[in-house]
Structure 1
Amino acid sequence: MISLEFRRINYRFSWKSSIIFIIFCPLTAFCIIMITNYFWLYFFPLYIFPAGILTSIFVGKICTISLNTNYTLQVPDSVGVYFTLGCSPYPAIVLFLAICLIAPHNKIRGMNKNIWKRKILTFIISSIIIFIVNSFRIAITIYLYHIGTPYYPMHDILEYITTFIAVFTFFICTYSWLPEILISGIWNIESIKNKVSKRHSLEIKNMSHQVKKIKINYILLFWMPICIFIGTGLSILVYQKIF
Structure 2
Amino acid sequence: MSPSSDGDASDIDLLHSISVALIGENDRFELYGRIVEAAVTITGSQFGTMQLLCPAGDPSGHGGQLQLLAHRGLPPEAVGFWQWVSPAAYSSCTLALKLGQRAIIPDFETWDAIAGTPDLEAFRAAGIRSAQTTPLLSRNGKLLGMISTHWGKPHQPSERDLRLLDIVARQAADLLERTIAEEQLRDLNETLEARVEARSRELIAAEDQVRLRTAEQYSATLAAG
Above 0.5 in TM-score? Answer: no
Give the number of the structure with larger relative contact order, counting CA–CA contacts within 8 Å between residues 6 or more apart. Answer: 1
Q: Name the structure where helix makes up a greater proportion of residues.
A: 1
TM norm structure 1: 0.26
TM norm structure 2: 0.27
